Amino acid sequence: MLEAAITGSRRYWIWVSFLLVVTAIGFISWLRELHMGSGLTTGLSRDVTWGLHVGQLTFFVGVAASAVMVTLPYYLHDYKAFGKMTILGEFLAVSAVIISMLSVFAIMGQPTRIWNVLLYATPNSIIFWDLVVLSVYLILNILCGWTVLGAERKGVPPPAWIKPFIIFAIIWAPLIHTITAFIFAGLPGRDHWLTSLQAAHFLSTAFAAGPSLLIILSIIVKRVSRFDPGNIAIQTLAKIATYALIIHIFFIGLEFFTAFYSRIPGHMRPLEYLYTGLEGHTELIFVMWTSSILAAVALVLLLTPATRRNEKTLILASLAVFFSIWLDKGFCFVVSGFIPNPFDRVTGYWPALNEFFVAAGCWSIGFLVLTILYKIVIAVREENAG
């Protein structure tokens, strides 16, 4: 099936070449960061030690976990409309996990020592468990997606032994995002992150952003090929994203209530930094407000049946959801945990250009994998359609 990836139209090769170029730029930028140190190539500091890259980990683990929103209805509840969508969700999960793992690898000061995490396995460390669960999830999705697609190509039902793996992946998906939330939610000094709501909030944003991306990808697939994932499937994804978005916005409201009704400074000040600026640091205000406005726009578009059913406005709404949550969870959430610092001082953060390039390199590798996998799906589906 892999041979489908090396035959394609001119448009396909231009896209792949573009991704390879961005990957090369990202790789060189990463080498630069390794050599010079993150002090000169990122906006990080002694106070803000995690920024753009850990944000990408957080966000894309969510996108990966959202595959469960497609596989669960189909495999556990026989929701036939998702029949053609599950493979797209599983392969999106594969690329998203790859972006997450690359992003974490990119932040390490001594990446050649990565094996230490396995050699000296530390069960009390959540990062250790994150590595484990993400690796397992990656293998599961490759296995399930490839096997089911392979069976489809041969025109036979999938083998019986794959079913337990699929069920396992369905249970595993929320787990990976809960563990990712646990990275943040158990740290005693960081009031902004220290909430029991964290994993639930992460899952709600994941189930809004992931299906939104899947909607956009499905429409792209429909436009570039003869394979149509199905309008009912897309509409159901839109409804899932809508409810998840409502819960996400509700959770933001809960956060605001706890912070500002209790008036505890540790809870209030990170939110002040994000929305109104703190001690003269206003660098994230524009980002955070854009995220909130996009969420509001998306909510209106998704709640209104007319705009949800219209493909053009649905694309707008999905983009709005995706970018709103990407700005929030993939950036502002991580940075604001460090502000103020344990001494109640504020050190601002903005990513350096080199940092953007490294992140772009991670995305492009992920999108390259996604492109190749989707190309294979399209080839199989077009071949079967005759």
Partner 1 sequence: MSYRAKGEEVMSMSRRNFLKLAGVSAIAGIGGAAIAGEVQKSVLETTQITPKAGALTGKRLAMVIDMGKLKSVEDINRVTDACHRIHNVPHFDDPKHEVKWIWTETFGHTFPGQEHKFMPEDMKHEPFLVLCNHCEYPACVRVCPTKAMFKRKDGIVMHDPHRCIGCKYCMAACPYGAISYNLKDPRLAKNLQEYMNPEFPTRAIGVVEKCMFCFERLAKGLKPACVEASNGALVFGNVDDPASEIRKLLASKYTIRRKPELGEEPNIYYILG
From residue 301 to residue 340, what is the string marking binding to partner 1 with x (rule CB under 8 A)?
Answer: ------------------------------------xx--
Asked whether position 196 contacts partner 1 by CB under 8 A, the answer is no
Which residues are CB-contacts of 161 (< 8 A; sequence separation ≥ 6)? Answer: none
Structure token pair of residue 30: 């990463």
Here the tokens at position 11 are 């448009």
CA atoms of 324 and 329, how far apart (whole Å): 9
Residues with Cβ within 8 Å of 66's Cβ and at least 6 positions away in sequence, in order, are 89, 93, 173, 206, 207, 209, 210, 211, 214
Query: Under a CB-based contact definition with an 8 Å cutoff, are residues 5 and 316 in contact?
Result: no
| Residue nearer to partner 1 on the CB measure, 174 or 337 | 337
Does 259 participate in binding partner 1 (rule CB under 8 A)?
A: no
Write each residue from 63 to 102 as x if it is in contact with partner 1 (CB under 8 A), else as -, in one continuous string.
Answer: ----------------------------------------
Q: Which positions from 211 through 240 interact with partner 1, judged by CB under 8 A?
A: none
Q: Which stretch binds partner 1 (CB under 8 A): 84-92, 167-175, 181-189, 219-227?
A: 181-189
* d(C-alpha 290, C-alpha 150), whole Å: 43
Say if CB 91 and CB 373 are below 8 A apart.
yes
Which one among 25, 28, 49, 228 touches partner 1, defined by CB under 8 A?
49
- Extended strands (E) in the chain: none
CB 244 within 8 A of CB 207: yes
Binding status of residue 188 toward partner 1 by CB under 8 A: yes
- Total number of residues that touch partner 1 (CB under 8 A): 45
C-alpha to C-alpha distances, 122 to 102, 118, 130, nearest whole angstrom: 21, 8, 12
159 touches partner 1 by CB under 8 A: no
The one among 9, 11, 110, 305 contacting partner 1 by CB under 8 A: 110
131 binds partner 1 (CB under 8 A): yes
Quick one: which of 248, 243, 237 has its CA closest to 329?
248
Residue from 23, 38, 86, 198 in contact with partner 1 (CB under 8 A): 38
Binder among 81, 127, 162, 315 for partner 1 (CB under 8 A): 127
Min. distance of Cβ 168 from partner 1 in angstroms?
Answer: 21
Q: Of 340, 188, 184, 343, whose CA–CA distance to 269 is shortest?
A: 340
Positions touching partner 1 (CB under 8 A) are 34, 36-40, 44-47, 49-50, 104, 107-111, 113-114, 116-117, 119-120, 122, 124-128, 131, 183, 187-190, 265, 337-338, 341-345, 347
